[in-house]
Every structure is written in C-alpha cells, then in structure tokens.
Amino acid sequence: MALGLRAQGFAGRVTLVGEERHAPYERPPLSKTLIAAPDEPKPPTIVDAARLGELGIAQIKGVAAISIERRERRIRLADGRRPAFDRLVLATGARARKLTLPGVERSLTLRTFEDSLAIRARLDGAERVVIVGGGFIGLELAAGARLLGCESLFSKHMRACFDARRRRRSPRPLRRDTSARA
Ligand SMILES: Cc1cc2nc3c(=O)[nH]c(=O)nc-3n(C[C@H](O)[C@H](O)[C@H](O)COP(=O)(O)OP(=O)(O)OC[C@H]3O[C@@H](n4cnc5c(N)ncnc54)[C@H](O)[C@@H]3O)c2cc1C
C-alpha cells in the first residue's frame, strides 16, 4: 500500500506502523527456504530502510497500535505516541490460530520471522516431528523437516488433505515441489 501510494504519485506523508522489529519482509520463505537454509537466515526484506527513506516513507517499528482516536484523527501506540492521520489503512494481516489442547504449551506456530527461527532451532537434532495443519504451510514445513533428516508425521486426516491438494489446482511448481519433498 505504501509503495503503491508513492508509485501512483501520492506526495503526502506516509507512516508505516508495525509491531514487528524488522523492515517489511516476505513471509513465503519462512516455511520454505529459511527452515533448512545452511546459513543463519535474515528476514527476507521487501524494501529496506534506505529505500523507504528515499521514498519518504517513515516507519515506526516494534510497537503495537492499541486504539484509534477517531475524533482527534490519531492512533495510540503502546509506547504512548499518538501519530496523527488524515487517512488510516488497517492492514493487520492474520495470526496463527493456537489450539486449546492440554499439553499444547510447548508447540510452536509459524507466522513471523522469529517463529521460523524458533522452529528451525527446535528441528535441530530432532528426529520425529508432528505437524498439525495439513495446508500448504504444514506441507512445506514437513518438506523442510525431511531435508533436515527428520521424520514428519501426518495424521490420516492431514494425509487426506495432502492427497486432495495434489488432485486440485495448486500452482504447478508448488505442487511438484511439495509433493516430491513431502
Ligand atoms: C509461513 C508462511 C508462508 C506463506 N507462504 C505463502 C505463499 O507461498 N504464497 C502466498 O501467496 N502466500 C503465502 N503466505 C501468506 C502471505 O504471507 C500473507 O497472505 C501475507 O503475509 C498477508 O500480508 P498482509 O500484509 O495482509 O499481512 P501480514 O503479512 O500478516 O502483515 C500484517 C502486519 O501487521 C502487524 N500488526 C498486526 N496488528 C498490529 C497492531 N495492532 N499494531 C501494529 N502492527 C500490527 C503484524 O505484526 C504484521 O507485521 C504465507 C504466510 C506464511 C505465514
């Protein structure tokens, strides 16, 4: 959105507020290349601070927006700052759904760069991995775990998801890649 505004000639002030500490980054590599990458991974940055500076896009990182003060046209941040706005875009994305099962406290979910590092560290030396969630991200994680020499376990239900996905119209390179590795 911020880049698009600039590309379309918007010359006003643009501020990105995000509770993550990084420059904007891509999430797809988190479940693909990062999991089994040989070197210490870095966030797969979309646009770095220097480029944002050139474009005149300010970034407030590592702090959550906690309320919208509509009358004053300000948002309130967790650290007490209250940036003003004329127009406000909410682009807060999604978060991983936590299961409410006994014993689930030690399980990990994958949404952020830090989640990916935590999974990578947990896979180091692991032999058997259970993945709850047989969608693309689960399958990609299973493939990454296999590359690291782990045995990945799927329940029958998840196996059924996998088979169904193979039959359906997933993008061809992804289907071939995921099927072969998983
Ligand atoms: C592991 C993984 C692999 C994926 N692989 C693919 C793929 O191969 N192909 C594909 O098409 N899609 C893929 N996706 C999905 C894709 O990444 C998402 O569709 C995309 O991230 C959505 O972008 P977004 O900007 O809407 O939200 P997000 O990327 O979720 O960004 C929202 C941001 O808002 C921040 N935020 C939320 N609430 C607040 C608040 N109150 N204050 C401040 N900041 C806040 C969040 O911290 C986050 O940084 C993948 C996702 C994941 C997690």
3-state secondary structure 80-115: CCCCECCCCCCCCCCCCCCCCCCCHHHCCCCCCHHH
Quote the pLDDT of residue 20: 97
Quote the pLDDT of residue 157: 58
Say how many Å lie between the CA of residue 149 and the centre of ligand 1.
29
Quote the pLDDT of residue 168: 57
Quote the pLDDT of residue 158: 54
**Closest residue by CA, ligand 1 atom 31:** 93
Q: Mutation test of ligand 1: which of 26, 27, 61, 85 has the most ligand atoms closer than 8 Å to its C-beta?
A: 27
What is the mean predicted confidence (pLDDT) over 75-81?
98
Give the chain's mean pLDDT. Answer: 87
Say how many Å lie between the CA of residue 91 and the centre of ligand 1.
9
Quote the pLDDT of residue 84: 97
Q: Which residue has the higher pLDDT, 118 or 162?
A: 118
**Closest residue by CA, ligand 1 atom 9:** 28
Say how many Å lie between the CA of residue 137 and the centre of ligand 1.
13
What is the mean predicted confidence (pLDDT) over 112-136?
91
| Alpha helix positions (H), the chain | 2-7, 33-36, 49-54, 113-123, 136-147, 156-167, 172-181
Closest atom of ligand 1 to 29 CA is: 3
What is the mean predicted confidence (pLDDT) over 1-12?
96
Give the percent of the chain with pLDDT over 70.
84
Tokens representing 6? 């600039």
**Closest residue by CA, ligand 1 atom 25:** 93
Quote the pLDDT of residue 182: 46
What is the mean predicted confidence (pLDDT) over 79-85?
98
Give the pLDDT confidence of 149-159 residue by residue, as tens digits: 888 676 555 55
Quote the pLDDT of residue 173: 46
Instruction: Tell whether the model's pLDDT for residue 169 goes beyond 90.
Output: no
Instruction: Tell whether the model's pLDDT for residue 174 goes beyond 50.
Output: no
Say how many Å lie between the CA of residue 86 and the centre of ligand 1.
25
Give the pLDDT confidence of 15-64 residue by residue, as tens digits: 999 999 999 999 999 999 999 888 889 999 999 999 999 999 999 999 99
